Structure 1
Amino acid sequence: MVDESGKLYSENIEYPGGSITTDGYMTQNGMEAHQGSSADIYHQGVISGKQNASIKGGGAWWTQDSTCVKFYGSGVKLGVPDYVRQGDSGGPFWHEQNGNNYIITVLSGMEVQGDYSGSCATGKKGRPAYGYPFWRVANNTSYTI
């Protein structure tokens, strides 16, 4: 939603067959209240398209090697379907409620197992996924929705 210059941004999320406008972001309390629910949490990946997801918890300590983002207890752990693939990184997670859409995070990394080969790990299909929650971005930068 923010371009590489950090100066231009969009409040829209495009996905095959539609587009939504974000109305705000999910707070820490909101994430805790929706933990485990997949009825109204979505992820849009360039490779796998729009699909349901879930919030598994906050305070994630996910790390990989030195070339990847480390969360050190500040990440959000997400449940994603088996078909989420390499190339979906950067895709947004959001929550729909009463016609409004609240950004949660973007896909930043996945735990993998098996015979997958990617830039940050080797393994197979990413489950679970991790991201840096937008409420932390809003609390620590000038970006907001």
Structure 2
Amino acid sequence: MTAQPRTIVVGVDGSPASRTALQWALNLAATQDFHVTAVAVQRRSPAFVPATSMALLPHGTFPEPSMETRAERLHSVVEAAGDHHATVTELLLTGEPARELTQLAGLDDLLVVGSHGAITTATALLGSITMGCLRHARCPVVIVPADRGKESHG
């Protein structure tokens, strides 16, 4: 019986930090027996958006992109990561990002998220999603700093 490859779950929101995290995960998956699941999580928007909030949005935009638009954005981020030698699944979810990511990542998986700031002690520097993943994940969590660039996983 062949063991199934483990999964690297990567949170992808299109930010430079998440792009770097995805690249890190792809580099690791290319050298190990990992499958990559690139996950974009959109927060649930309120059923009612006040007109004053709509007025703050640029003309022609809406508070919640369509599922097709979200899928295109995620796919373009994965494609921009370059030619990689890993199996990648693209997944769109709706909900609270840290909760969705930690529920998706199983005990034998690896959860990878990007950090928008320097990794020190402040929640503000790590971000609330990163902190939520650290608190609730059942698997190892890797936090990739945004300024890491395209260095290897080592």
Same fold per superposition (TM over 0.5): no
Which structure: larger Rg?
Answer: 2
Per chain length, whose mean CA-contact separation is higher, i.e. which structure has more relative contact order (CA < 8 Å, sep 6+)? 2
TM-score (norm 2): 0.23
TM-score (norm 1): 0.24
